[in-house]
Structure formats: C-alpha cells, structure tokens
C-alpha cells in the first residue's frame, strides 16, 4: 500500500481533527520561536477540541503530550502531570517515552522525586542512559539514586 500524501491525510480528517491539528501545529511553531505562553494557548485550544470530538483518536493523545510539554515550558508542573497522564498509556503502547518524561520532570521540579521514580524507570527502560540528556543536570545524582532503588 502506497503511503498517503500530507494533502490526502488532511482530506481524510474530520473538520474537528483538522482544526485541532492546525492549532497544535501553530503551538509547535510558536513554541519553537520561543513564544511559550502563546504556544500553550494553541495547545489548550487543540486539547479542548480533542476532548470534545476526538476522544478515542490517537491525535488526542498526541495533542495532550504536546500540551504537557507546553505546560512544562510555562512552569505549570501540576497541570503538566495531568496532561501527560492522559497521553501516557498511548505513548507507552507505541514505545514513546515523552509523556512519562514530562511527568517525571514535573514531579522532580515539584520536589516529589520519589513519586517521579516509576516514570523515570519507564523512560530509562525505553531509551536507556541517553534520557539523562533530557533531565536537568542538577537532578542527575537524585535520579541515579532513584533508579538504583
């Protein structure tokens, strides 16, 4: 089966899915340009659409994963955990560590290192030692100790 073009994939989306996808992509663009607050607004709007109209579609989980990253970038760690938890099971089912990483990083930022341990173990199990590059260097000794438990 031939791979579908971007235009074909967009045409196959429902209007709600296209709108959520466009908002999420705008969130990506704004985040890449350093506009963290504006990026988060786009991700929040995309998540609202996904929650209302795309409940069991994989795009919903992708959006909440992106939303988690934007929440983290804005220092909203508790909300980041909530968003990443929505995406986590889906991410793990495709062996993608991002949701677990955002949960772990947020819990570390909140000073809840012990709570972060199972999520750190998930990420470490998927990507090995390279995950340390995504963890604040100040947390490395604590993370190493948690992974040794």
Report pLDDT for 1. 60
Please state the length of the chain: 149
pLDDT (0 to 100) of residue 110: 97
* pLDDT digits 0-9 by tens, 57-114: 999 999 999 999 999 999 999 999 999 999 999 999 999 999 999 999 999 999 999 9
From 145, 141, 103, select the one nearest 122 (Cα to Cα). 103
Inform me whether the pLDDT recorded for 4 exceeds 90.
no
Q: Which two tokens stand for residue 106?
A: 């947020």
Two tokens at 89?
């099971």
Tell me yes or no: is domain 6-148 CATH 1.25.40.10. Answer: yes
DSSP-H helix ranges across the chain? 6-12, 15-32, 36-53, 58-73, 77-93, 98-109, 113-127, 140-148
pLDDT at 131 over 90: no
Q: What is the pLDDT of residue 148?
A: 84
User: Distance of CA 72 to CAs 4, 8, 84, 116, Å?
Assistant: 34, 33, 10, 15
**pTM (2 decimals)?**
0.89
Q: Are 55 and 28 in contact (CB under 8 A)?
A: no
Q: What is the pLDDT of residue 12?
A: 80
pLDDT tens track for 16-63: 999 999 999 999 999 999 999 999 999 999 999 999 999 989 999 999
């Amino acid at each position: 089966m031939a791979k579908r073009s971007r235009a074909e994939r967009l045409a196959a989306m429902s209007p709600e899915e296209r709108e959520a996808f466009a908002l999420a992509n705008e969130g990506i663009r704004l985040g890449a340009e350093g506009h963290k607050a504006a990026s988060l607004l786009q991700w929040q709007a995309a998540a609202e659409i996904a929650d209302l109209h795309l409940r069991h579609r994989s795009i919903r989980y992708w959006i909440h994963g992106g939303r988690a990253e934007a929440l983290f970038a804005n220092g909203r760690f508790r909300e980041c955990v909530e968003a990443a938890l929505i995406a986590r099971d889906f991410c793990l089912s495709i062996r993608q560590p991002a949701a677990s990483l955002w949960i772990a990083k947020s819990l570390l930022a909140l000073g809840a290192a012990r709570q972060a341990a199972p999520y750190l173990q998930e990420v470490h199990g998927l990507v090995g030692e390279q995950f340390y590059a995504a963890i604040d260097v100040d947390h490395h000794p604590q993370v190493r100790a948690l992974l040794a438990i």
